[in-house]
Structures are given as C-alpha cells and as structure tokens.
Structure 1
Amino acid sequence: MNFDFIRRDINAQKAKSQYRQLVCNSAASKGKEIVINGKNYVNFSSNDYLGLNNHLEINKALQEGADKFGVCASSSSLVTGYHYAHQALEDDICQWLNKPKCLLFSSGFSANLALFQALGKSEQSHFYLDKLSHASMIDGAYHSKAIVKRFQHNNIEHLTELLNRSGKYSTGFSNKLVASEGVFSMDGCQAKVVELAQLAKSEQAWLYLDDAHSIGVIGKEGQGSNYFADIDITMATMGKAIGTSGAFLTCSEELYEYLVNFSRHYIYSTAISPAIAWATKKSIELIKKEHWRREKICELSVLFTKLLAENVELVTTESSIHAIIIGDEKKALNVSEQLKKQGIWLTAIRPPTVANNSSRLRVTICASHNDKDIRCLAECINKAIT
C-alpha cells in the first residue's frame, strides 16, 4: 500500500509505550477541574498557571472585542487583517516588557519558526541553542541555512567555548544568535538569564529567549525573563499563563521591519482573532496587578516539595512546573493511571518529548489549586511510586 511506513511506525510507538492519542475535555474549564469521559479530575497537567482561563473579566473583554472588531481577522496583517485591537495589544506588550516593537503570531511554534528561518537565510548566521530548547526552536534553526550549534543545558562555560571557537575559525563577520528558554517546559528550571545576557553582549551576539513558560509567572509584574535582563528578542505564548491564544515576538524596530517584510510565517498567515487580542489586553492588565497569583504558586510549590517522600525524584525548580522523574515509559504510564483512579489528571511525558529513560510526571501547580489539592496529590504520588 502507499505510505506503508504509517502503520509500521504506529505499531512501533505502541510497542515502545510511546503511543499517543487524543482525550476530549467535555466541559468548559473551571479553574482546576477537567472532565474526561464524564468523570471529574483535578487537573495537574494544565499550563493555565495563573488560573486566568475562563476569567469573567477576560470573557467579557472577548465578547466586547467580538462586538467591536469581529471574531475573525479575515486576512493577513499585511492585507486588511491588522485591526486596532492588534495594535493596542502590541502597544501594551511593549510597555509591559519595555520593548520598542512587538509582532503577533498565531502560535509559539509559528513565531519560533518565523524568527529562526528569517534570521537564518544566510550561512553567515550562527545559532547557539540550549540542548533542551523547544522542538519549534530546533526545527526553525535546522530548517534554515544558518550554522547551528547546541550547548549543554544551562552550561555557560560550554556556550562560551562554542562562541570562542566559531570566532577563532571564522574568516568573515558572523551573525550570532544565542537561544534558550526562560523556563524549560519539561523540567521547570530557569535559564541563567543574567549570565546569558552578559555573555551575548560581550560576544556581540543577540540573545533570544522563548518565554512561553515564564511570561506571567516570573517577575514582579509577570514580565518573565525581561524582569532580570534586557533581552534582545523575546517570544512568549498567550495560551498558557496569559489564558488566551496566540503568541508574540518583541524586538528592535529594525528587526520588526525586517520580519514584516521577509518573514513568510507572518506575511502569509491570517492575523490572530481581534477579539482574542482584545481579551489578551485585559488578561495582561490582571497579570500586572494581581500579584497574589504568583505568590500562591510559590506557596503551594513549597508545600508540594515538602510533602513528597524522599524516594520521589523531583527536579529542583522555582517555576510552576515540577518534574518527577520515573525513567521507564511503562512505569510512568502506570503511575499516571493509578493517579487517575484517585481523581487526579497527571499526564506521563515520554520520549521523544524527553530523553530516553527520563519519562516523567510533569506536575503544574496553578493559582487555581489549594492546599487540599496539593496534599492529596503528594499523598497519591507517594503511594504510587514505591
């Protein structure tokens, strides 16, 4: 048959306990709850870190945006799809993160591909990516013409060595981009933002950070990595802590102008919903002023760490993400199923999302959880992992 590798590869996934399938949440998200096949669970796999999804004020702003501008942009931004709602949101983001310009994208994956492919049009471009960078960053980098190097996770010394080595053997000027994540999605640890910024500046490189899991959660007003240093280019998604949909890039005026003219992902994509843009303005307003949401995540995270048994291998983190390393894929799936029987939804993360023999439970603690939820979660994990 045509494309006979399809069935072969699916069967291989099943044999390796790496098979994936969709599950349908059959009710509107209400904070920490999720409904699968008619059963209620406490959700510890959501990226709704600040508990803003389904917030009444954001929902009201969404309806207002739909009434003012419509649900659909109906065109790309460079035709007639760029609405006042988009411009107003971009201005708010620039003010929030203290950046000159901002561009909106339909997703973080699209924004990452756009940036790396636009800056990687020449073999004179050099990209340096953290080993644990997101798949979209890796895809964007390797599908460009740039020379790509990967440095060991959060290892500033190795990055310095790679930068020095490329400078030593380069005969002409090279355009250097250092790329990492503000908070790494699968283990929750933070990038060494200040050191990366200092090194990039000293090496005349640009620093690019994917702040998808940092924006809203890290910083006094949820500014993410830009709270710690002046980041040349920041990408952040709006479908996680911000509680809406889409993504944005912040950058210099010159890079903004370049992307508008040469980024195929931006030029040939329909603009995000103006109603969503209007709702996102309200969400950012709440994020900046409601500090208690970030404080609650910290308090519950401390409690969770304290309650886990000594034999539970927890990755140290200061974010919303808490990775419990299981190792074997089958065992990770088994623990996840045990927790479901106790009314806890906690997805097992397996290769290729993470490295072989590092399957894990990715616990996300959100502002919508409470002490009782955390105590129940810790107790059930301790029983399931023996």
Structure 2
Amino acid sequence: MAFTFIREQLSQQQQQARYRQRVCTTSSSENENLITIEDKTYVNFSSNDYLGLNNHSSINAAMQEGVERFGLCASASSLVTGHQYAHQSLEETICQWLNKPSCLLFSSGFSANLALFHALGSTQKKSSNNVSFFLDKLSHASMIDGAYQSQARIKRFAHNNTEQLTQFLQQEPSDSNKLIASEGIFSMDGDIAEINKLKELTEKYKAWLYLDDAHSIGVIGEQGQGSNAHARIDITMATFGKALASSGAFLACEEQLKEYLTNFSRHYIYSTAMSPAIAWATQTSIKLVQDEQWRRDKIVELSELFLSLLDDNINVLPSNSSIHAVIIGDEQKALNISKILKEHGLWVTAIRPPTVAKGSSRLRVTICANHSVNNINSLARILNKALT
C-alpha cells in the first residue's frame, strides 16, 4: 500500500498528545467575543480579533458596497486584469497610514512572507547570488519556509538576541546583501522585537530590516501603525485578518522593491488578486483603527487586570501585547487545562509542539477590546483553580 507513513505519523501525533483537529464555529453579533461550537457558547480567548472589529456594522456595510461596486472576486491575477480601483485605493491608504512609498497586496500573510524571501533570495543571476538572511529563531513558519526555499545564505539568531545577531553580521562579507528579519510582536510569546536595536544594526551594517507585523498592526502606536510607530522599517508585512478584521495581507516598502516583486515574485505574479470587495472594506477597518484609540487602551487595561489576578506561581511570559502565554510544559497537561476551561465556558486553545518548542506547551490567551471585566475575572479564577 502506498503512503503508509500517513497512518503511522498520525498515530504518533496522537500518542504524543499533538494531534490536531478542526472545530466548526459560529460567531456572535458585533461587540461580543463569543463563539458557538456544537450548540455550546464560549467566551473566546483564542481569537486574533484584538480590537473587537470583526462583524462591525461599518465594515460589513463597506463590504456590501464593495460587492455591489466591484464584485466579490478579482477574477484574474494583478498583472492581468485583477488589479482594480479598490486595490489601488487600499494600497494608497496603507502608504499614507504607515508613511511608506509603496505597497503590494497579497491574499494571505503566509503568501506575502514566502514571496518576499523567495524573490530576494533567488536572484536572476544564481551564480552570483550574494544574499544573506538573518532571522530571529521565533520567526513565523512562513518566513522560515520562504528563506529556506530561496538560494540565500541563512542564519538564525537566538530570540531577541541582538548580541548574537551582531556577531553574525560581523562575520558577513561587507559587500553581501543583508536582510534582518523578525516579527514585530511574536505570535506565540506575545513579546516585542528589539526594534530600535535591530534598526541600529541595519544602519551600521548596511542591511535592510524586515518585520512581520501581523500581530502588531492595529495594536501598537497612536494610530495602530504597528512597529512603524517605533522606527522606520525598511519592509513591513502585515495581515488584515487579525486586528483589522478583514482578510489578506500587504508588503509596504520602497518603490523599487515593489517593482522588483511585481516583476520577479512568482507568488505575486501567478496568484489571483485578493477580493476587491474585501480590499474596499479593509479601508473602513483602517479608519476605525486610526480613530478609535479606546480599543487599544482597553486591551492594556484588561491585560493588566488579568495579570494582576493570576497567582504568582503561574508562569506567564512577559508581554506588552494582547497575547499572554501561560506556560504549562507538558502537552497532555496543556490539553487537560484547556478542557477544564471549556467546561466553564471559556475557549482557550492549547498550543503544542512543533508550533512551540518541546516542553513549552502553553495556553495562548488573547485579550481583546470586546472582552469584559467579568470575562477576565472568570478566566483568572478558573486558571488559578486549575493550576494550583
């Protein structure tokens, strides 16, 4: 029989308490962070809807307007006839918001990351390729995949360890094309990159700085600009499907790099453009993000409350974001604690290897602007009881 390894590897996943299964959820109305699974409703602490904008009436109305004006589907790649006014308008909005010269839209953050690393690390003259990527160890899987699918030299420095990164840069030939890559906010730990130090190193060693801002955009900065609120990032990637409550992603960069990607990125050239209706609706998302600072303030307030209520012996990684990693360690124990929370109407997903390192299985708690004080009190109370 062919492909017998499939059954074997699935069995191994089950034995290691790493088996994954989908659940089918239904969401509630605007301003409520609730999900229903198999006829039971839970307070959702696993959502990336950080600002509570999903199902917002203004975004929904803009989506409907976009469907009526442009249709739901782009019907072609961006370089054929898929690039429409809705896309152009969204790109211009993003450039103004982040103070960037240029922007390209993608259907997902995974695709955007693959596109960037593959295109920069696979020059047209492969025999003279002189590109080096320096990635934080905890960079997203799509960044790692994109880097290793290219022909670039790759070095991964210990998480937020700029001293080791400096050593790597010092060993690099001065004439190499260097790209330092990190996440703005790390998706599983919730901590923030050493952005200013990274920027200093790019200037000193004539490198570019690339940040995956999927979990920063909308959440950081007075207008939700993400990492660009702290420093001028050479290349920013961010997704629309988290704090912006939409779908798709973008790369913001210099004009010449945009033109290079347009001409040489296979992921961009050969993909159908993102939905123009979604592009149209995303502009409303950005306007809400810019105007409603109270949403970011609410995340800070509720996060501080959550941490203050937890028993001192509970291991929570330091975080200045919506993401709070409660470290459990063992895979099965993490699943057990997650189950207890669900029995009390709280949905908190257990994150296990290989998403995180072995021995660091955790509950990834995300606190969003549409949670209530009562929600936070309940979560802390049940966690304290389950973990002490």
**Could you say which TM-score interval applies, normalised by the shorter chain?**
over 0.9
1:303 and 2:309 correspond: no
- Name 1:219's counterpart in structure 2: 221
Deviations 1:234-257 (A, max 9, x none): 000000000000000000000000
The secondary structure found in structure 2 opposite 1:148 is strand
- Name 1:21's counterpart in structure 2: 21
1: CA distance, partners of 2:135 / 2:27: 39
Once the two structures are superposed, the pairs formed by residues 286-301 of structure 1 within 5 Å of their partners are: 286-301=288-303
Q: How many residues align?
A: 382
C-alpha displacement at 1:26, in angstroms? 3.2
1: CA distance, partners of 2:44 / 2:35: 6
2: CA distance, partners of 1:56 / 1:336: 32
1:125 and 2:126 correspond: no
1: CA distance, partners of 2:104 / 2:360: 36
With normalisation by structure 2, the TM-score equals: 0.97
- Name 2:176's counterpart in structure 1: 174
The 1:154/1:27 distance shift into structure 2, 3 A limit, reads closer
2: CA distance, partners of 1:189 / 1:26: 30
Say which of 140, 150, 153 aligns to 1:134: 140
Once the two structures are superposed, the pairs formed by residues 133-152 of structure 1 within 5 Å of their partners are: 133-152=139-158
Once the two structures are superposed, the pairs formed by residues 159-198 of structure 1 within 5 Å of their partners are: 159-167=165-173, 173-198=175-200
The secondary structure found in structure 1 opposite 2:296 is helix
C-alpha displacement at 1:152, in angstroms? 0.7
C-alpha displacement at 1:198, in angstroms? 1.1
Question: Would you say the 8 A contact 1:127–1:178 is kept in 2?
Answer: yes
- Name 1:107's counterpart in structure 2: 108
C-alpha displacement at 1:28, in angstroms? 4.8
Structure 2 letter corresponding to 1:126 = S
- Name 1:231's counterpart in structure 2: 233
Deviations 1:292-350 (A, max 9, x none): 00000000000000000011100010000000000000000000000000000000000
The secondary structure found in structure 1 opposite 2:316 is coil
**Alpha carbon RMSD of aligned pairs, Å?**
0.8
- Name 2:126's counterpart in structure 1: none
Question: Would you say the 8 A contact 2:114–2:142 is kept in 1?
Answer: yes
Once the two structures are superposed, the pairs formed by residues 6-17 of structure 1 within 5 Å of their partners are: 6-17=6-17
2: CA distance, partners of 1:29 / 1:120: 44
Question: Would you say the 8 A contact 1:127–1:149 is kept in 2?
Answer: yes
The secondary structure found in structure 2 opposite 1:317 is coil
2: CA distance, partners of 1:26 / 1:217: 25
Structure 2 letter corresponding to 1:39 = K
Which segments of 5 or more consecutive residues in structure 1 lack a partner in the other structure? none
Deviations 1:87-136 (A, max 9, x none): 00000000000000000000000000000000001441000000100000
C-alpha displacement at 1:200, in angstroms? 0.6
- Name 1:156's counterpart in structure 2: 162
2: CA distance, partners of 1:226 / 1:304: 28
Say which of 194, 212, 228 aligns to 1:210: 212
2: CA distance, partners of 1:105 / 1:238: 10
List, as ranges, runs of 4+ consecutive aligned residues in structure 1 with deviation greater than 6 Å.
Answer: none
Once the two structures are superposed, the pairs formed by residues 334-373 of structure 1 within 5 Å of their partners are: 334-373=336-375
C-alpha displacement at 1:29, in angstroms? 6.0
Deviations 1:343-364 (A, max 9, x none): 0000000000000000000000
Say which of 305, 316, 319 aligns to 2:318: 316
The secondary structure found in structure 2 opposite 1:117 is helix
Question: Would you say the 8 A contact 1:26–1:38 is kept in 2?
Answer: no
Question: Would you say the 8 A contact 2:27–2:34 is kept in 1?
Answer: no
- Residue identity over aligned pairs, in percent, reads 65
Say which of 253, 256, 259 aligns to 1:257: 259
Question: Would you say the 8 A contact 1:75–1:271 is kept in 2?
Answer: yes
C-alpha displacement at 1:27, in angstroms? 4.3
2: CA distance, partners of 1:367 / 1:318: 15
Question: Would you say the 8 A contact 2:131–2:152 is kept in 1?
Answer: yes
- Name 1:3's counterpart in structure 2: 3
1: CA distance, partners of 2:262 / 2:119: 10
1: CA distance, partners of 2:171 / 2:333: 42
- Name 1:85's counterpart in structure 2: 86
2: CA distance, partners of 1:115 / 1:340: 39
Question: Would you say the 8 A contact 2:227–2:233 is kept in 1?
Answer: yes
Question: Would you say the 8 A contact 2:28–2:34 is kept in 1?
Answer: no
1:76 and 2:77 correspond: yes
Structure 2 letter corresponding to 1:104 = L
The 1:130/1:284 distance shift into structure 2, 3 A limit, reads same
